[in-house]
Structure 1
Amino acid sequence: MPSWTTCLLTSAALLALTACEGGGADAGPSAAADAAPSQPMAKQQTSEPEADGADEEAVDAIFTTEAVAQFSEPWAMTFLPDGRMLVTEKPGALYVVTQSGDKGEITGVPTVDYGGQGGFGDVALHPQFADNGTIYVSYVEAGEDDTRGAVVARGQLALTDAGGTLSDLEVIWRQNPKVTGRGHYSHRILFTPDGQHIFISSGERQKFDPAQDMQQNLGKIIRLNHDGSVPDDNPFADQGGVTAEIWSLGHRNILGIAFDAEGQLWEHEMGPKGGDEFNRIVKGENYGYPTVSNGDHYDGRPMPDHDTRPEFMTPEESWTPVISPAGLIIYKGNQFPEWTGSALIGGLSSQSLIRVAFDCPLDNRDICEAERFNMNQRIREVEEGPDGAIWLLEDGSSNGESGGRLLKLTPA
């Protein structure tokens, strides 16, 4: 039986909630969720409002949540032309899933280096998938001497009613260099609205300095042609090598990238101890990490804020305490008309769904967090369905005992 909860929004802004949050690291599924918005406008409840007499104004239902399917450690999803979904699991599995929750495994997936934050990552359809059957996947590949790095590969997907087969995999991009450690791969995949190019988020692998090193593609946003070659109009194309791949630099751990209706690219990334960011991405610009951050080092040493170094791009929104953002869409549907054009972000440590408005109702700002909904589980992925419903993937534990659900959100 599927299960449902209902999210409720207060009719006026609530008093600020206090919270203690550990930082932007992509911690495991057991991480606590204490974060609350510094200027909260929304509060989520499961099933029932507060008891009579509570000091709160009347509430109105916003959405109903249906648990559709369960996974072990789901990481990403994307919709197929027939309305089904592809869902990845971090240990190295790919499923085709119906909107009623029936799952079929896809064979032929690549061998992944599973552990920590690494394994099987993103999945994206070629813009002409309906004609050519090509999909793109990201995953972690082992190297020599206990090193590893993310790769992006493309292959042919043949689907059946019960599953499918992935074949003819070809790696088109690799993180360079491979390094030790098992964190901050990022490896999100996004095609441009015109379908001509592919963007890849490349985390700095918890090594700090690569984000500013133009001879490495770590801590960068990458732009490529479909086959992995470099477009002539990339900002550093004339410099050759991995430098030519770079679209923007100075990034940390980018787990969400999306285009808005006007074709503007947006991303979010985890800060260190504080300072999660929501950024407007501009060709050739430097976003400052690790030279600047609105957070601090985990050992307590301060980091200069963005406003101390005007040569770096400043986040449009920043969070301290952190939300640990993962998954990003700019909502284009009409099931939630008041959200059309807003960014929807999953929260890992904050266990929430966050709405960022581009017509901010607070402090005369253009862009800000407008609402936050407590989902009671770490949210790993956000997607918009063909009919405008919102779909989420919970982060899941390796033993399958908690989280890992595929959720469908529809208006209450």
Structure 2
Amino acid sequence: MYKHLKHHYLTMICIGGVSALVSCGEGTPKSPVVKTDSTGAPVENTKANSDYKPAFAGQTRIGSVKTVTPYDYKVLDSTLKSPWGITNLPDGRLIITEKSGVLRIASTDGKLSEPITGILPVKFAGQGGLLGIRVDPDFGSNRMVYWVFSEERPEGTLTAVAKGKLSADEKKIENAAVIYRATPAHKSDLHYGGRIVFDKDGNLLVSTGERSDLETRPQAQDLNSGLGKVVRITKDGQPAAGNPFLGKTGIRPEIYSYGHRNVQGLAFNPATGDLWETEFGPRGGDELNRIEPGKNYGWPIITYGIEYSGEKVGDSLQQKEGLEQPVYYWDPVISPSGITFYSGNGLPEWKNNLFIASLSRTHIARLVIENNKVVGEERLLAGEGQRFRDITEGKDGALYAITDMGKLYRISKK
């Protein structure tokens, strides 16, 4: 019945005359900084979309926490055009992607460079464009930059990974080349995934989406498809040594984990070294997962969400043997995009907490995680009314966040 499923740019839908929150645009009151270390009522008090029961206590709607340490936030710039990815340069400046295909460098006081040329053409439509970005761990010596983008191919579009060298004058990317394509291509402009991180061995982990359509959705479970996966590749785009399916017949060797819907958050926990991700559910069922190699994270077989129409997803299963449970889920959705763990010393109570850029609920979610379980949740900057797209910790210990409306924020101890 539905070829292209709606995605996380919708605000309200009306079903049977009743308006229901699907994803985005609903602001929440600004949360003041309250000096308390107690756990209060959950931050979410809106009715869930379903009556599904969590698999374990604390898997959703955990008690709230409030930051005790006074902190400030300010807008450094508001002229960016649909920024999508942000990361650090070794000198502390920030490099930012804009979906239309523009790359810029920003100082930590908000001064933007002119557009950097040399980026490969992107398919700028829907959720597609210039997406996640990282610089080489050896950038100081090789000046290499890696990015994810939606690429147009004869058969449709796909998630691609490219690399190139930032010129000495920082005006262009030299010798840009695609190193990986998540095939098959498909005629859709939804669910590209698009985040990218380096692991401790210098390999790249990249998220791909299952492209949203009912016909491509099952490929999240297909080990001979690049859709709905987290892949682990070398700097040249080859399957990385130690991958869980390396050498196995009929399975793509670059696959690291599978059963994903649309992963837009990837980050390593500095305390444990574990890889964590956030991914979009449909109507309800946004997930936080701790990623282990070779594991199946369930989509579309299990989910805590329902279809945007209000119908059940598949057989309406939330748990099944052999499929991983999310560490945490949200219903209604928050539309979780970029994530980062805080490792600085500026706000000690934030140490090793996870910060999530929330699009539809227009806040930054702070999660306190202990023993791989969420034990507290807070909403920051909720009064700003911004669709937060990505967030990173700067070299100076501050958090830097970008929004769909073009703003660059700095969040730090007062």
Which SS does the other structure have where 1:243 is aligned? coil
CA distance in 2, matches of 1:157, 1:88: 14
What runs of 5+ residues in structure 1 fail to find an aligned partner?
Answer: 24-36, 44-58, 396-402
User: What is the percent sequence identity of the aligned residues?
Assistant: 34
Where does residue 237 of structure 1 map in the other structure?
A: 246
Amino acid at match of 1:172: I
Which SS does the other structure have where 1:341 is aligned? coil
Tell me: CA distance 1:318–1:369, structure 2 relative to 1, closer, same or farther (3 Å).
farther
Amino acid at match of 1:199: L
1:8 aligned to which of 33, 37, 55: 33
Where does residue 14 of structure 2 map in the other structure?
A: none
Contact in 2 for aligned 1:9/1:42 (Cα 8 Å): no
TM-score, with structure 1 as normaliser? 0.83
Per the TM alignment, residue 40 of structure 1 is displaced from its structure 2 partner at its CA by 5.2
Contact in 2 for aligned 1:7/1:61 (Cα 8 Å): no
Per the TM alignment, residue 10 of structure 1 is displaced from its structure 2 partner at its CA by 5.8
Q: Is 2:205 the partner of 1:182?
A: no
2:273 aligned to which of 258, 263, 273: 263
Q: Alpha-carbon deviations, 1:155-205, whole Å to 9, x = none? A: 110143xx421010121100100001111101211110232x110101111
Tell me: CA distance 1:10–1:272, structure 2 relative to 1, closer, same or farther (3 Å).
farther
CA distance in 2, matches of 1:201, 1:290: 16
Per the TM alignment, residue 366 of structure 1 is displaced from its structure 2 partner at its CA by 3.0
Amino acid at match of 1:346: A
Q: Describe how 1:208-219 pairs up with structure 2 within 5 A.
A: 208-219=217-228
Which SS does the other structure have where 2:191 is aligned? coil
Q: Is 2:394 the partner of 1:385?
A: yes
Where does residue 356 of structure 1 map in the other structure?
A: 367
Contact in 1 for aligned 2:49/2:331 (Cα 8 Å): no
Tell me: CA distance 1:62–1:186, structure 2 relative to 1, closer, same or farther (3 Å).
farther
Where does residue 88 of structure 1 map in the other structure?
A: 97
Contact in 2 for aligned 1:192/1:199 (Cα 8 Å): yes
Q: Is 2:342 the partner of 1:334?
A: no
CA distance in 1, matches of 2:247, 2:68: 56
After the TM superposition, which of the residue ranges 253-262 and 296-305 deviates more from structure 2?
A: 296-305
Which SS does the other structure have where 1:178 is aligned? strand
Contact in 2 for aligned 1:6/1:65 (Cα 8 Å): no
Amino acid at match of 1:179: H
Per the TM alignment, residue 20 of structure 1 is displaced from its structure 2 partner at its CA by 6.1
Q: Is 2:123 the partner of 1:116?
A: no
Per the TM alignment, residue 144 of structure 1 is displaced from its structure 2 partner at its CA by 1.8
Where does residue 287 of structure 1 map in the other structure?
A: 297
Q: Alpha-carbon deviations, 1:39-64, whole Å to 9, x = none? A: 45257xxxxxxxxxxxxxxx966421
Contact in 2 for aligned 1:306/1:313 (Cα 8 Å): no
Contact in 1 for aligned 2:31/2:379 (Cα 8 Å): no
Aligned residue-pair number: 365
What runs of 5+ residues in structure 2 fail to find an aligned partner?
Answer: 1-29, 51-59
Q: Is 2:45 the partner of 1:18?
A: yes
CA distance in 2, matches of 1:18, 1:327: 24
CA distance in 1, matches of 2:138, 2:222: 35
Q: Alpha-carbon deviations, 1:202-242, whole Å to 9, x = none? A: 11111311101111110011011111111242111113677
TM-score, with structure 2 as normaliser? 0.83
Per the TM alignment, residue 347 of structure 1 is displaced from its structure 2 partner at its CA by 0.3
Amino acid at match of 2:71: F
Which SS does the other structure have where 2:279 is aligned? strand
2:166 aligned to which of 154, 157, 177: 157
After the TM superposition, which of the residue ranges 366-375 and 170-179 deviates more from structure 2?
A: 366-375
Higher relative contact order (CA 8 A, sep 6+): 2
Query: How well do the aligned residues superpose, as a CA RMSD in angstroms?
Result: 2.3
Where does residue 357 of structure 2 map in the other structure?
A: 346
Per the TM alignment, residue 87 of structure 1 is displaced from its structure 2 partner at its CA by 0.7
Tell me: CA distance 1:278–1:194, structure 2 relative to 1, closer, same or farther (3 Å).
same
Per the TM alignment, residue 370 of structure 1 is displaced from its structure 2 partner at its CA by 2.1
Where does residue 410 of structure 1 map in the other structure?
A: 412
CA distance in 1, matches of 2:72, 2:168: 31
CA distance in 1, matches of 2:168, 2:349: 36
Per the TM alignment, residue 369 of structure 1 is displaced from its structure 2 partner at its CA by 4.3
Which SS does the other structure have where 2:185 is aligned? coil
CA distance in 2, matches of 1:15, 1:319: 15
Amino acid at match of 1:205: R
Q: Is 2:71 the partner of 1:63?
A: yes
Tell me: CA distance 1:258–1:85, structure 2 relative to 1, closer, same or farther (3 Å).
same
Tell me: CA distance 1:7–1:168, structure 2 relative to 1, closer, same or farther (3 Å).
farther
Q: Is 2:148 the partner of 1:138?
A: yes
Per the TM alignment, residue 101 of structure 1 is displaced from its structure 2 partner at its CA by 1.4
Per the TM alignment, residue 19 of structure 1 is displaced from its structure 2 partner at its CA by 2.7
1:41 aligned to which of 64, 69, 78: 64
Amino acid at match of 2:228: G
Per the TM alignment, residue 377 of structure 1 is displaced from its structure 2 partner at its CA by 0.7
